Structure 1
Amino acid sequence: MRLLRPYREPVVTEPSAPAAPTPARRLLPAIVPAVVVGVLSALVLLGVSLLAERFQEVLWEALPDTLSVGRYSALWTVAVLTACGLATGLLIRAVPGHAGPDPATTGLVDPPLPPLVVPGLLLVTVLTLAGGVSLGPENPITAANIALACWLGGRLVPGAPAAQWLALAAAGTVGALFGTPVAAALILTETLTSRPGPGALWDRLFAPLAAGTAGALTMTLLAHPSFDLSLPPYGRPRWGDLLSSAVIASAGAVLGLLVVYAFPYVHRFFRSLRSFRGLGGPVLALTAGGLLLGALGALGGRLTLFKGLDEVRELAAAPDGWSAGQFAVMAVVKAAALLVAASCGFRGGRIFPAVFVGVALGLCAHALAGAVPVALAVTCGVLGVLLAITRQGWLSLFTAAVLAGDAAVLPILCVASLPAWLLVTGRPQMQLAEDGTPLR
């Protein structure tokens, strides 16, 4: 007799889920779009810079020569910058999107703007750079490249998140600005570590680093940029350098903080000028700002005009060519010009003018105390000012070290950054909320 076996339901095996791609297979497809975005970001920066340089030659060389007016004379400086403010205000009022939001409320890397804002923003940036305003190209060019990358990327690759295109455009632009992808990696490291996301940090930096490399190589091959000021070699650190570096960097941080603390008050003054009826919103504020910048330029001289990168090289080429008082005047005037330009509505970045302030401050310290090496004084001055203005430690250290072109100064810079950072951390930033209060 056979025993009946109990009934058992058949086991249904589900098909196994496909294995997740390895990190390498996930990262490889990002190389091509990263390279494309990096190259295009560099080309936008290069095109705007070249156009601004040609227009600058017309405004500051050809036109005054035709009118038999002295180049960079006090009268011409005030006239050009006042006219630049008026023209910028009229353009901002007329162009679609009004060249973006109030620059006092924006940072270096922000959410993408609508694409229709980009042409007006780039046009205003060319006028700002050519007219002698104490602002650099980094903020508006980064904003324009982010807007273009997110708009085009969203149409070509609809499934890709906008944050990916934003990171690629920011990295490509920063890499092109500094001529090296290291700057882009350092800036994005500070940004990405504050945001949760899957994967190791270097996995998240892989595509932006490729974009930064493409942008840096494109700019290097086409324009040959260099931040090395050819300063005298630093040599070996000495015990006295520990104190002098800390003092100079702290002084730079204090000067930068004075600008930061004055920023909301000066911005409030220019915002009040925009409320006058019949004057087109930004027109009066920017015209008044241009007039003030012209007066500051007449006071500080030709070297305190423009974004400051070329002028920094001229200062560094003759560190003993001016007195301590003259260097101090240039540092203060440039800091005041940066404050006015950033408050009244000109579109531009603050890194390059802040570098000029730091270099002038460092050369002032060297003129006061000749025992302090030039390379140490300059880099520590730049470090302190940048820490206060940008509040980005890696970027400040990197920029200061690159200016010297000497790795021996890096350990002393790290020491100098400690007291300077203690002065700036927790303080208001040089960026305002919509209601005009400073961010922290």
Structure 2
Amino acid sequence: MVQDTERQPTAAPAVPSAPARALLPLILPALVAGIGCSLLLLLVSGVAERLQGALWEDLPDALGIGRYSAVWMLVVLTATGVLVGLVVWKVPGHAGPDPATLGLSAAPVAPGVLPGLLLATMLMLAGGPSLGPENPIIAANVALVFWLGSRLLPRLPRALWPALAEAATIGALFGTAVAAALVISEALAGRPMRGALWDNLFAPLAAGATGAMTTTLVAHPTFDLGLPPLGRPHAGQVLAALVIASAAALLGLAAVYAFPYVHRVFARLGHPMIALPAGGLVLGLLGGLGGPLTLFKGLSEVAELARAPGDRTAGQFATLAVVKLAALLVAASCGFRGGRIFPSVFIGAALGLTAHALVPSVPPALGIAAGVLGMLLAVTRQGWVSLFTAAVLVSSPTLLSLLCLASLPAWLLVTGRPQMQLRADGTAAR
């Protein structure tokens, strides 16, 4: 009897695991990178917070001006544009590459760029533009870790150092190594790997965990908004999650498609001392329209929204979302050094609370989480980060299943579309 060998299944070749002796030398560099990246983030954030207090509390009080009056917002944001413009124009390195071209991964820049980049970031965080610290801090940490690591330990692969710095910074930003592991695993999915997945994740996970633990021990951050957990879900909540996440993704895509055009408008101004003050002026006008909640990176402002979801109408929440989205577009296009994740969290949360105000049976926790999920999927195009960020805002195991379902139609809307990140030639990355 002849056997049909063509139909016999063939076992996939086993991926060889790295021996422990190959991974052990990576532990110490990962721990040092995690601590160092976290401390740099805390230093920049701490200086920015002190400067913010001086600009928005001490100085207007001394002058007898309302802290967040429309006039003061216009003055401070325009002045912030002037100061950041001076840094970009005059400081060596010009505060790094165009921030519109940066994401959560960064190529190492020369160490001489970092003083200007960090100074511009601190001024931005204190002055009120709607950007977060993630992109410039990742770029700075990648540059430092790469420069030090490649000189002190030249035998280790050069590609290791950016991975350690990115994982450590993401862990420090979110206060957990899970976020770092998810981002790194998503990045590895598009690259050829040597060895098993967990062998490739070993050192970045150690760096991310160390960065997260350092931040937790020093600063005690939390993303949990303290909203009531979701009970047993029903069909109406499933439908609400699908609709809110998809609507947020569509709103985010509108900003993504507008991004290259807004960037081109500011690029035509031709000089940072024109583009950045002009951007600051527009942001000041938007601040007068949306109020102080639409300023800054947005995390503490999200907590303020969540504390009293019934205090505003659907129109007021929608206005906050639209103004913040416009502020994000302007700040990211005119040259302010900052990232787009944290402002997107505010926009998604405001949109979710709009849904709660329109349909009170939609729990605030569900609205916020689904809105953040859809907005981040459109802006970042990173599924794991979007799911993780939306889930940690509300401590509810039930909600995670709803978010996984809601991510499917939202992903179908955004996949294959441009990202809110530009190439060097000004075209949208995909």
| Fold equivalence (TM over 0.5) | yes
Render the CA deviation track for 1:352-408: whole Å, top value 9, x for unaligned: 000000000001100000111111111000000000000000000000000011111
Corresponding residue for residue 100 of structure 1: 96
- Please tell me whether residue 300 in structure 1 is matched to residue 296 in structure 2: no
Q: 1:194-233 alignment to 2 at 5 Å?
A: 194-233=190-229
Match of 1:415 in 2: 405
Q: Does residue 272 of structure 2 align to residue 282 of structure 1?
A: yes
Q: How does 1:268-279 map to 2 (within 5 A)?
A: 268-274=264-270
2:8 is aligned to none
Give the direction of change, closer, same or farther, for the CA distance of 1:25–1:71 in structure 2 (3 Å limit): same
What do the CA deviations read for 1:15-72 (whole angstroms, capped 9, x no partner)? xxxxx99521111111111000000000000000000000000100011011111001
Is 1:109 paired with 2:105? yes
Structure-2 residue corresponding to 1:348? 338
- Identify which of 123, 126, 131 aligns with 2:127: 131
1:368-407 equivalence runs, <5 A: 368-407=358-397
Cα contact 2:77–2:284 (8 A) shared by 1: yes
Does the CA-based 8 Å contact 1:309-1:352 persist in structure 2? yes
Using the TM superposition, give the Cα deviation of residue 241 of structure 1 relative to its aligned residue in structure 2, in angstroms.
1.4
Query: Paired residue for 1:10?
Result: none
Q: What's the counterpart of residue 260 of structure 1?
A: 256
Instruction: Tell me how far apart the structure 1 counterparts of residues 36 and 412 of structure 2 sit (CA, whole Å).
Output: 39
For the residues of structure 1 that align with 2:17 and 2:101, how far apart are their CA atoms? 41
Is residue 18–residue 196 contact of structure 2 (8 Å, CA) maintained in 1?
no
Q: Provide the residue aligned with 2:7 in structure 1.
A: none
Amino acid at match of 1:379: A
CA distance in 2, matches of 1:345, 1:54: 23
Matches within 5 A, 1:99-178: 99-178=95-174
Instruction: Please say if residues 17 and 196 of structure 2, whose CA atoms lie closer than 8 Å, have aligned partners that are also in contact.
Output: no
Counterpart CA distance in 1 for 2:125 and 2:289 is 20
Give per-residue Cα distances to partners, 1:256-299, cap 9 Å, x unaligned.
Answer: 0111000000000000001xxxxxx2110000000000101111
Could you tell me how far apart the structure 1 residues matched to 2:293 and 2:66 are? Answer: 16
**Correspondence for 1:13:** none
CA contact (8 A) 1:188 1:205 kept: yes
The one-character-per-residue Cα deviations of 1:132-185 (angstroms, maximum 9, x if unpaired) are 010000000000000000000011001222210100000000000000000000
User: What amino acid sits opposite 1:66 in the alignment?
Assistant: A
1:430 aligns with 2:420: yes
Cα distance in 1 for partners of 2:341, 2:267 equals 23
Q: Deviations over 1:200-253 (max 9, x none)?
A: 111100000000010000000000000000112111110111211111001100
In 1, the alpha carbon distance for the partners of 2:341 and 2:301 equals 14
Instruction: Give 5+ residue unaligned stretches, structure 1.
Output: 1-19, 275-280
Alignment of 1:292-331 (within 5 A): 292-331=282-321
TM-score (norm 1): 0.93
Query: What is the distance in 2 between the residues matched to 1:224 and 1:154?
Result: 32
What secondary structure, in the 3-state scheme, does the structure 2 residue paired with 1:98 have?
A: coil
- Say which of 45, 48, 71 aligns to 1:49: 45
The letter for the 2-side match of 1:167 is A
Which position in structure 2 is the counterpart of 1:364? 354
Could you tell me the TM-score, scaled by structure 2's length?
Answer: 0.95
How many angstroms apart in 2 are the aligned matches of 1:426 and 1:220?
37
Q: How many Å apart are 1:111 and its aligned residue?
A: 1.1
Distance in 2 (alpha carbons) for counterparts of 1:316 and 1:355: 12
Q: Which amino acid aligns with 1:430?
A: M
Structure 2 residue runs without a partner (length 5+):
1-15
- Per-residue deviation at 1:197? 2.3
**Do 1:23 and 1:203's aligned partners in 2 also have CA atoms closer than 8 Å?**
no
Identity of paired residues, percent? Answer: 66
Task: Give the distance between the partners of 1:120 and 1:201, measured in 2 at CA.
Answer: 37
Corresponding residue of 1:36? 32
Q: Distance in 2 between matches of 1:136 and 1:150?
A: 23
Task: Measure, in 2, the Cα distance between the counterparts of 1:154 and 1:435.
Answer: 30
| RMSD of equivalent CA atoms | 1.0
Distance 1:21 1:425, change over 3 A: closer
Q: Which runs of 4+ in 1 moved over 4 A?
A: none
Paired with 1:366 and 1:73, the residues of 2 have a C-alpha distance of 29
Instruction: Assess if the C-alpha contact under 8 Å between 1:88 and 1:286 holds in 2.
Output: yes
Distance 1:299 1:315 in 2: 17
Question: Match of 1:241?
Answer: 237
Equivalent residue number for residue 12 of structure 1: none
Shift of the alpha carbon at 1:192? 1.0
